[in-house]
Amino acid sequence: MRKLSLLPLLCLPGLLLGQGPANVETAFAKKREIRIPFSPGPGAQYLKQLQLFVSTDGGKQWSPSATVAPDQLKFSFVAERDGTFWFAVQSLDLQGKLYPPTAAGLQPSLKVIVDTQPPVVQLQPLPPRSGEVGVSWTIRDDHFDFGVPDAVRLEYRLSGGVTSLPLSVPQGASQLYWNPKSNTLVEVRLNARDRAGNIGAGTTTVSLTGAGGVYLPPGNDTRPAIAAQSDTELNKLGVEQRRFVNTKRVTMNCELHEVGPSGVALVELWYTHDARSWNRGPEYRLVPGDDKDKHTITFDVASEGVYGITLLARSGVGLGDRPPQVGDRPHLWIEADWTKPEVKLHNVVVGTGADKGKLTVAWEARDKNLPREPITLSYGRAADGPWQPIATKLANNGRYVWMLPSENVPYQFHVKVEAVDRAGNIGEAITPELVKVDLSTPKVRILDIEPSKSP
């Protein structure tokens, strides 16, 4: 009796034919519920049934998955997870004989790689050069291939425009410069398609003036973090609802609860910039038997901006909450901000006349995350300190008048203005020259005269 062969349909949505080991067809599926068509071939009239077997370890162990009559011409299979699945078929004829006689003799005829996750895309602006704007990107995906046609699509449109223009991307490139022929803001989008047909996207903005957005990792239809802050969802988000960090590496302490006997196999991190689209970030596998309630999770962000973070635990048997959906609020909002406030010290004026004894400091401090009272003024004998406080927790109103104490203040010193943002970044400005507060004009008064005893 002829061995049964499985023939995947190229036109079947969600099942894409690829290339695999010799004599074994490889297909990619972006959905976990798939149909596997087959062709029994000559002698099908002598068959009673066909049984589909599946293996998740490359054919070492086989498990029955489905049984159909030969005239059904297809098997149905539902994968419980993403991964690689090998398939083989055992036939039963009308005389009750099996081919092959036992599962040990099964030979794989088809390999299906189930991949439901889109590529993780990071798209970032590059500094303009010679009348051109540029972007760079990274694409992370286990089944991404730059050699596949249409694997990378890069397009742009001028801000406010409705037409997107495609850009030609050399195979294997990770950055591109081009002339947008406009000085306005340029919106850029990159789509990455993996071999299963999943599409991940990243967007950012660039311009010939250097103004543009930044992109935070990864994702499927995400937008630049800075641009996202104008969205309605983030407009409603007060600073008290955000945790601020000033490093690219973020550490979170989390606690496990309602853990069953199979334990927790892994923790998934999902993130959003606007609660309207979610992306899967890194996953953290726990050591089997580790039943600690509290764990530390560390992850890296690509650039500054607002992240909504949700953590999902998966049990040892694969159970867990569904991934976050559009509109779901994250467990935690954080804002990554490692840019120091910009501080300018305009002048330091030592009072004279009616203002004698007063020192007026004028400054300017700028930062998107300055709190209500971010300013500290200090003085020091040297430009590198040590520093003594003049005033702390001042409002950023740009001016402060210091009543000079009569003691313990040197007659000349440097003045420093510091601004601290909500993430703990410190910007400062120091007077380049010493400020001289001793404005006394020495005078001489004659007390008396007496004859000289010299001849």
Indicate if the pLDDT at residue 392 is higher than 90. yes
Indicate if the pLDDT at residue 131 is higher than 60. yes
Position 448 in a domain: no
Please indicate, yes or no, whether residues 28 and 106 belong to a single structural domain of this protein. yes
Position 441 in a domain: no
Q: Where does the pLDDT of residue 409 fall: very low under 50, low under 70, confident under 90, or very high at 90 and above?
A: confident
β-sheet bridge partners, residue 158 = 186
* Domain total of the chain: 4
Give the helix/strand (H/E) hosting 294. strand 294-300
Indicate if the pLDDT at residue 225 is higher than 50. no
Average pLDDT over residues 329-336: 89
Please indicate, yes or no, whether residues 413 and 347 belong to a single structural domain of this protein. yes
Domain final position from 287, 310, 336: 336
Query: HSE of 271 in the Cβ direction (CA atoms, 13 Å)?
Result: 23
Please indicate, yes or no, whether residues 10 and 104 belong to a single structural domain of this protein. yes
Average pLDDT over residues 316-343: 85
Please indicate, yes or no, whether residues 37 and 78 belong to a single structural domain of this protein. yes
Indicate if the pLDDT at residue 205 is higher than 50. yes
Please indicate, yes or no, whether residues 365 and 432 belong to a single structural domain of this protein. yes
Position 189 in a domain: yes
CA 58 to chain centre: 34
Per-residue burial over 261-300, b = 16 or more CB atoms within 10 Å of its CB, e = otherwise = eebbbebbbbbbbbbbbbbbbbebebeeeeeeeebeeebe
Q: Which domain holds residue 301?
A: 233-336
348: amino acid identity, one letter: V
Please indicate, yes or no, whether residues 155 and 205 belong to a single structural domain of this protein. yes
Whose structure tokens read 């087959």? 38
Average pLDDT over residues 345-362: 88
Indicate if the pLDDT at residue 373 is higher than 50. yes
How many CB atoms are closer than 10 A to CB 175? 11
Please indicate, yes or no, whether residues 331 and 362 belong to a single structural domain of this protein. no
pLDDT digits (tens, 9 = 90+) for 80-104: 889 999 999 888 888 989 989 988 8
Please indicate, yes or no, whether residues 9 and 103 belong to a single structural domain of this protein. yes
β-sheet bridge partners, residue 152 = 192
Indicate the pairing of strand 110-114 with strand 25-29. parallel
pLDDT for 218: 35
Position 275 in a domain: yes
Domain containing residue 419: CATH number: 2.60.40.10
Position 446 in a domain: no
Please indicate, yes or no, whether residues 126 and 101 belong to a single structural domain of this protein. no
- Backbone φ and ψ for 166, nearest 5 degrees, come out as -75, 150
pLDDT for 22: 43
Position 453 in a domain: no
Q: Tell me which range, 219-223, 272-276, 357-361, is most confidently predicted by mean pLDDT.
A: 357-361
In this structure, are residues 314 and 320 in contact, taking their beta carbons and an 8 Å threshold? yes
Position 198 in a domain: yes
Q: What is the pTM of this model?
A: 0.47
> Which residues lie closer than 8 Å to 216 by C-beta, 6 or more apart?
222, 224, 225, 271, 273, 301, 302, 303, 304, 305, 307, 336
Q: Quick one: tokens of 102? A: 């036992």
Please indicate, yes or no, whether residues 13 and 99 belong to a single structural domain of this protein. yes
Please indicate, yes or no, whether residues 77 and 91 belong to a single structural domain of this protein. yes
Q: Where does the pLDDT of residue 210 fall: very low under 50, low under 70, confident under 90, or very high at 90 and above?
A: low
Indicate if the pLDDT at residue 216 is higher than 70. no
Please indicate, yes or no, whether residues 106 and 24 belong to a single structural domain of this protein. yes
Position 222 in a domain: no
